[in-house]
């Protein structure tokens, strides 16, 4: 059975993308009503640390590490004053532990010196912290503070954005801009969670279950298991 057209005859491209995105959001909301941030945290600092550790590491593994880490390091000062080699060992299972330990120590020092030990609530301030790029800042602002200056783009969001025909941009920043042009701001925080849950359950990097996908009739890549894989892999390598 042929797929319905992705845009109505004569409908401008951007308007068609917005219309299709609205339908996709409605379906994802129904399918994943309990979608949420997969990283375990109780404070903005814990979320910041967990997100830094999540670079090129699964959320499940990060959660295993932070279970003990958050008991040992409870403040920005704790990270700032940590013995670097000890901190490296504490986070070793997350990979790239030397760079991550330096980032956490530098982050703690910056928070203590410039922000009274508190995680700032502004994008520009967060971006001054070692180990923090726009993706990490969006995660913290959206999930810890309920702010939505942008859209988190991780490997799942990048992959699904490409497969769904919303963005083939080569960087998370450009993918984010493409998505922000068609996604209502009220969905900036939740859209990544819905896409991540769908990416893990159905639209997998390898062996996507297109036959089980509630978005197949809206997806130009349905049946093509390789579409979007490269975009997701590129995004996964960025903080």
Predicted pLDDT of residue 1: 36
Alpha helices in the chain (DSSP H): 13-31, 44-53, 59-72, 76-80, 84-91, 97-114, 123-126, 134-144, 155-163, 172-180, 190-201, 229-236
Domains of the chain: 13-35+151-236 (1.10.1670.10), 44-144 (1.10.340.30)
Q: How far apart are CA 169 and CA 217, in angstroms?
A: 23
**Active-site residue, selected from the candidate residues 59, 90, 100, 135:** 135
Predicted pLDDT of residue 3: 47
Predicted pLDDT of residue 84: 98
Through-space distance between the first and last CA atoms of the chain, rounded to whole angstroms? 41
Can you give the pTM of this predicted structure? 0.87
154 catalytic? Reply is yes
Predicted pLDDT of residue 223: 85
**Active-site residue, selected from the candidate residues 154, 174, 217, 224:** 154
Q: Is 221 helix (H, G, I), strand (E, B) or coil?
A: coil
- In the numeric block, the tokens 């600092």 are attached to 45
114 within 8 A of 124, measured Cβ to Cβ: no
Q: How far apart are CA 132 and CA 55, in angstroms?
A: 11
124 catalytic? Reply is no
116 DSSP assignment: T
Predicted pLDDT of residue 7: 47
- All residue ranges of the chain with pLDDT < 50 are 1-11, 227-233, 235-238
Give the Å distances, CA to CA, from 136 to 103, 141, 172.
Answer: 13, 9, 12
Q: How far apart are CA 19 and CA 6, in angstroms?
A: 9
Cβ count within 10 A of residue 166: 21
119 within 8 A of 144, measured Cβ to Cβ: yes
Contacts of 210 (CB under 8 A, 6+ apart): 216, 219, 222, 223, 225
- In the numeric block, the tokens 């991550």 are attached to 100
């Amino acid at each position: 059975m042929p797929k319905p057209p992705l845009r109505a005859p004569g409908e401008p491209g951007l308007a068609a993308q917005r219309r299709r995105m609205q339908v996709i959001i409605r379906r994802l909301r129904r399918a994943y009503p309990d979608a949420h941030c997969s990283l375990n945290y109780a404070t903005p600092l814990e979320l910041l640390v967990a997100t830094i550790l999540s670079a090129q590491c699964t959320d499940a593994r990060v959660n295993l590490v932070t279970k003990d880490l958050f008991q040992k390091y409870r403040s920005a000062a704790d990270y700032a004053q940590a013995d670097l080699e000890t901190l490296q060992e504490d986070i070793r299972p997350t990979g790239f532990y030397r760079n991550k330990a330096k980032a956490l120590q530098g982050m703690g020092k910056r928070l203590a010196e410039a922000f009274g030990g508190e995680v700032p609530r502004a994008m520009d301030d967060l971006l001054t912290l070692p180990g923090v790029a726009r993706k990490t800042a969006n995660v913290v602002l959206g999930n810890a503070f309920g702010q939505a200056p942008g859209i988190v783009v991780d490997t799942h969001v990048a992959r699904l954005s490409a497969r769904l025909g919303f963005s083939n941009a080569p960087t998370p920043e450009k993918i984010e801009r493409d998505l922000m042009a068609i996604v209502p701001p009220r969905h900036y925080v939740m859209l990544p969670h819905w896409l991540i849950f769908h990416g893990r359950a159905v639209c997998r990097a390898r062996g996507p279950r297109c036959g089980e996908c509630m978005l197949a009739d809206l997806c130009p890549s349905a049946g093509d298991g390789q579409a979007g894989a490269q975009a997701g892999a590129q995004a996964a390598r960025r903080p």
